[in-house]
């Protein structure tokens, strides 16, 4: 199994591998084009989004600037929107449902590095997927940690850090994010 295939299967992989780096470079050029798009040219914006994130629904809006590792490890559903300064480290895969709003300065972070400091010196990481359901709203500055699943119709308060799975139909906030009420 190649290092890239290991990444696709969320196994430990060497992120300095040539095939992995080639995919990152492809994303870099697509991201550069997206980040130079003007908001007034929606056709060009959608073309740039699709070039970076082939599995984004045609109705998705991403407000530049936007940063990611690969782009092709992200899936975004119909009617969803990512506001300015999104950072999606997507080696582990990121799935965002339909009609979900991601506020400015949000970070979705899938890489998980070894916890042993000697192992961390190696260029090995594991991606843990992030899944965000339909009809969610992540306020500005939210961070979602590796391996987290957020259910449907969840509101995450601005500045929160989501470190564990969140069930459907709740409002969470804080660091770490905790349920503060049920959605009505």
Q: Which residues are catalytic?
A: 113
Output phi, psi for 138, to 5 deg. Answer: -100, 115
Tokens of 163: 């470190």
- Contact criterion met (CB below 8 Å) for 136 and 171: no
Chain Cα centroid distance, residue 127: 12
CB within 8 A of 27, min separation 6: which ones?
52, 68, 69, 70, 71, 72
CB within 8 A of 121, min separation 6: which ones?
none
């Amino acid at each position: 199994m190649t290092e890239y295939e290991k990444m696709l299967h969320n196994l430990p992989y060497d992120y300095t591998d040539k095939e992995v780096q080639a995919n990152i470079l492809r994303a870099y050029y697509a991201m550069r084009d997206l980040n130079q798009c003007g908001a007034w040219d929606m056709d060009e914006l959608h073309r740039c989004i699709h070039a970076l994130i082939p599995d984004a629904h045609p109705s998705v809006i991403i407000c530049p600037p936007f940063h990611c590792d690969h782009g092709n490890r992200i899936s975004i559903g119909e009617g969803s929107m990512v506001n300015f300064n999104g950072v999606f480290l997507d080696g582990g895969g990121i799935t965002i449902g339909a009609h979900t709003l991601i506020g400015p300065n949000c970070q979705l972070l899938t890489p998980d590095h070894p916890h042993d400091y000697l192992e961390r010196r190696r260029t090995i990481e594991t991606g843990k997927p992030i899944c965000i359901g339909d009809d969610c709203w992540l306020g500005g500055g939210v961070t979602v940690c590796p391996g987290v699943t957020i259910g449907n119709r969840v509101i995450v308060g601005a500045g929160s850090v989501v470190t564990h799975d969140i069930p459907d139909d709740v409002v969470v906030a804080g660091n770490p994010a905790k349920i503060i009420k049920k959605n009505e």
